[in-house]
């Protein structure tokens, strides 16, 4: 028996990295998974891999900044599977770090458009479908950057992840009445393509690891296991909370 048997999940940013790991794990645990991204070729490859293993997963084009895309994806999910139980707002971007004085307003807006507005739009359009399904679980991927370790963070990225953190609590507080839970996950440095963008060279990466007590990066699978807990009924009394998965980074 899978931990997500009978459940239907939407995952954003699922073509690679943590989102792909979550799509694989959710399908393995019995969920029917709709996962979206703007990287269509990579997304279809992940879809084929999951289906080959017998999982029920479908890749869709989803730009999280597009309200029309979210409306289409939620509608198609309901048409296909008849319900929506889980939303993982995972898609995000990072940009190379510069100081506040050197960051352009356009860059700031671009980061917020994807990382913060994308989470809002996904939540907005999933709530009615979840309510109609009798409730659900929303898991928003923030970061340790949304809590602290501020000295090392890219300013716009960190602020957008702080927005995700508090937006999760607002969602939890205002939609408990609908049977909808909402929690945030706060990964430390995780070995994905995103980290390669954030830390251009080995020296920068080594510097970052000095602030991780476990002295290593985490894997996408280690995050997916935490997301699975929050998505599943194992966390039935957990809402508005923060799950930090970071090798101890936030404690430094």
User: Binding residues for ligand NAD, per CB under 6 A?
Assistant: 12-13, 15-19, 37-39, 62-65, 90-93, 114, 141, 143, 187, 189-190, 192-195
Decide if 213 contacts 251 (C-beta within 8 A).
Answer: yes
Give the nearest distance from C-beta 200 to ligand NAD in angstroms.
14
Is 157 noted as a catalytic residue in this protein? yes
Nearer of residues 46 and 172 to ligand NAD, judged by Cβ: 46
Alpha-carbon distance values, 207 to 116, 165, 203, 211, 248 (Å): 28, 26, 6, 8, 16
Give the nearest distance from C-beta 100 to ligand NAD in angstroms.
20
Give the nearest distance from C-beta 61 to ligand NAD in angstroms.
9
Separation CA 129–CA 109 (nearest Å): 29
Cβ neighbours for 160, distance < 8 A, ≥ 6 positions apart: 92, 111, 112, 115, 116
Q: Which of 81, 157, 229, 237 is catalytic?
A: 157
Give the nearest distance from C-beta 43 to ligand NAD in angstroms.
8
Nearer of residues 4 and 60 to ligand NAD, judged by Cβ: 60
Nearest residue to ligand NAD, by Cβ distance, number only: 17
Where b means 16+ CB within 10 Å and e means fewer, 27-58 reads bbbebbbbbbbbbeebbeebbeebeeeebebb
Nearer of residues 5 and 193 to ligand NAD, judged by Cβ: 193
Nearer of residues 130 and 194 to ligand NAD, judged by Cβ: 194
Give the nearest distance from C-beta 155 to ligand NAD in angstroms.
15
Alpha-carbon distance values, 123 to 119, 146, 161, 194, 200 (Å): 6, 18, 15, 23, 33
- What single string gives the DSSP state of each residue in 122-191? HHHHHHHHHHHTT-EEEEEE--GGGTS-GGGS-HHHHHHHHHHHHHHHHHHHHHGGGTEEEEEEEE-SBS
Nearer of residues 63 and 178 to ligand NAD, judged by Cβ: 63
Catalytic machinery residues: 157
């Amino acid at each position: 028996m899978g931990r997500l048997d009978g459940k239907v999940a939407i995952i954003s940013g699922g073509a690679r990295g943590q989102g792909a790991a979550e799509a694989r794990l959710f399908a393995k645990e019995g969920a029917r998974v709709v996962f979206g991204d703007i990287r269509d070729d990579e997304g279809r490859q992940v879809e084929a891999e999951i289906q080959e293993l017998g999982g029920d997963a479908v890749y869709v084009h989803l730009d999280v900044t597009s309200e029309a895309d979210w409306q289409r994806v939620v509608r198609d999910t309901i048409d296909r599977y008849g319900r929506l139980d889980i939303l993982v707002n995972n898609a995000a971007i990072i940009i190379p770090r510069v100081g506040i004085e050197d960051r352009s307003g356009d860059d700031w807006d671009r980061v917020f458009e994807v990382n913060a507005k994308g989470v809002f739009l996904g939540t907005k359009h999933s709530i009615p479908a979840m309510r109609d399904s009798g409730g659900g679980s929303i898991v928003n991927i923030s970061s340790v950057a949304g809590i602290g370790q501020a000295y090392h963070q890219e300013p716009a990225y960190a602020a957008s992840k702080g927005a995700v953190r508090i937006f999760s609590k607002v969602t939890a507080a205002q939609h408990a009445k609908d049977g909808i839970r909402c929690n945030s996950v706060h990964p430390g440095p995780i070995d994905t393509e995103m980290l390669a963008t954030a830390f251009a060279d080995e020296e920068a990466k080594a510097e970052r690891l000095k602030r991780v007590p476990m002295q290593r990066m985490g894997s996408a699978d280690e995050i997916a296991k935490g997301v699975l807990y929050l998505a599943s009924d194992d966390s039935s009394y957990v809402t508005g909370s923060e799950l930090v998965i970071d090798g101890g980074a936030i404690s430094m």
